[in-house]
Amino acid sequence: MPALARRIGLGLAARGEPDEVLDWARQARDAGLESIWIHDSYFERDAVTFATVVADGMARDRDGSSFRVALGAVNPNTRHPVVLAMTGSALDELLPGRIVIGLGTGLPLRLKQMGIPYAPDAAIAGVSEAMDKMRALWAGERLPSATPGLPPIQPMFPPTHRIPLVIAAYRKEFVALAGQKADGYLARPAESIPSLRGILERLRSAALEAGRDPGAVESSGYLLSLVDKTRREALNRAKREPFVIYMMSVLSDISLGRAGFEPALRDAISAAWRAEDFTAAGNLIPDDLLDAFMLCGTREDVAEKAMAFQVGTGLDLPLLQPVLQEDRQIQELLAAATLFAEARVATTAAVSSRPVAVGSGVAASMPANPAEPHEEPTRDASPGTSLADDRRLGPVEAARRRIAATWEILRPFAYTASVIPVAAGAALASVDGRFQWLPFLAALVGGVLLHSGTNIINEIYDVRQGVDTIVSPRASHAIVKGRITERTAFAVAIG
């Protein structure tokens, strides 16, 4: 399919099966989208591996398209610039002229966990030097050895094509660096329209001051998106997603102020998040906060808000990033991208007056900033361990986790409504001299199982609708925190 009339891309986390991500990339290409951007997150699957699978699959298709595969973003603190240069060369061999590499500095917390030094000022210089080294190696130049007395670094195979380097970090010094020497700038998730507008204005000013054409510095940004049958249902679901709650709990004072919110709101959400009271945290999030930092609603709503975001900020390349990385959400976002590109949404004037904002932005690795907070927005931000990854565990550990999750979703319920009637019937039968153990046990077990099944189904409904405020939240949290999937919960309920 030919490219869409307006450029738009898809942002995904390195999560799930690589073949599934490749399939989504192909669908995005066939729908006319411009590119796919894959976030890096240290504690999830490797983004370079996913990008390699996608690039190789695209190459094998021999589609003749210009669909790009981007790493958005990787960190020269954790991957040496020489290694990144050779990674880019290898990817360019797979998919010539269609690779993009984003560079960021990563989330300081994650770096500290791994014992990697991080200093804000040194980080800026480090990214700048990484760009210089990568470009020198790609030009076939040698680099002096970091250790005196050793031979220089000689690239084995520089890429045939020029690989664009984009900056993925939100501090003003990084924005200036992008304007001065990068090929582009990648905005993090959870930036409001006023905030990103200011960032891109600084980007253009920095380019002009460096004697560059601002139009030569491509701006792209993740738009964190959640689609449902109605806007209300999308907002309700977003408020029950740990990733969304986390993102709202770490918004900066500046971002909040530019969008018209007080830091006290963020602080309250953050306190509930840290206490693992996710129901309370979700209930603290007002609709307009999500509207300011995300795209929530029907596919038409998402397309309309993406248009408002682009018009309101001057963003060159919006990247739709699903909060829920699942097939149904991907299909809805591809449909929204088509509506956006074909302008089958409200006019600019009508849209720009509505509160709209975006998020990623990868999000996972979300990163709050693609390479930065792209480390945290991922699901490892939630305190639970997801059972979606059980295939990586041994059978004993997988079974143990499933039993623990099943117990967690069952234990909050009081079974008086099912046990007392059976016990009363047994007492009457005993008085009458007709008590029998087998019918009694069958009735007791059947009543408890029926009670459990209906309660679990109610909890699944509550989580989907965002209304679990009057029941014990522990069962809902087993689903919300990813300790048990909805499918497994249904199996427990029916089985």
Distance CA 221, CA 29 (A): 18
How high is the pLDDT of residue 92? 96
Query: Which of the pair, 414 or 110, is modelled with greater confidence?
Result: 110
Q: For 13-22, 118-127, 399-408, which range has the lowest pLDDT when averaged over its residues?
A: 399-408
**Structural domain tally of the chain?**
2
Residues 91 and 128 in one domain: yes
Q: What is the mean pLDDT of residues 289-302?
A: 97
- Across the strands, what pairs with 167? 103, 185
Q: What is the pLDDT of residue 365?
A: 31
Quick: pLDDT tens for 127-160: 999 999 999 999 999 999 999 999 999 888 888 8
Domain check: are 416 and 331 in the same one?
no
351 and 478 both lie in a single domain: no
In a domain, 2, yes or no: no
User: Does residue 274 lie in a domain region?
Assistant: yes
Whole-number pLDDT of residue 166: 98
pLDDT tens digit sequence for 262-274: 999 999 999 999 9
On whether both 136 and 280 belong to a single domain, the answer is: yes
* Residue 377's pLDDT band (cuts 50, 70, 90): very low
Sign of CA dihedral 182, 184, 188, 191: positive
Domain contains 417: yes
Quick one: tokens of 270?
């953050």
- Which of 381, 401, 427 terminates a domain? The answer is 381
Does 233 reside within a domain? yes
pLDDT in tens, 347-375: 443 443 334 433 333 333 333 333 333 33
Asked if pLDDT for residue 75 goes beyond 90, the answer is yes
Range of the domain at 442: 387-494
What is the pLDDT at residue 411? 59
Looking at the fold, whether 277 and 150 belong to one and the same domain comes out as: yes
What pLDDT score was predicted for residue 485?
63
Q: How far apart are CA 158 and CA 161, in angstroms?
A: 9
Tell me the per-residue pLDDT of 416-462, one tens digit each, with 9 for 90 and over. Answer: 777 888 888 889 988 888 889 998 899 888 888 887 777 777 766 66
Q: Is 343 left (phi over 0), alpha (psi -120 to 50) or beta?
A: left
The letter for the amino acid at 305 is K
Arithmetic mean of pLDDT, 83-112: 93
Short-list 313, 290, 301, 312, CA closest to 339: 301
* Domain termination residue (choose one: 354, 381, 408): 381
CATH number of residue 258's parent domain: 3.20.20.30
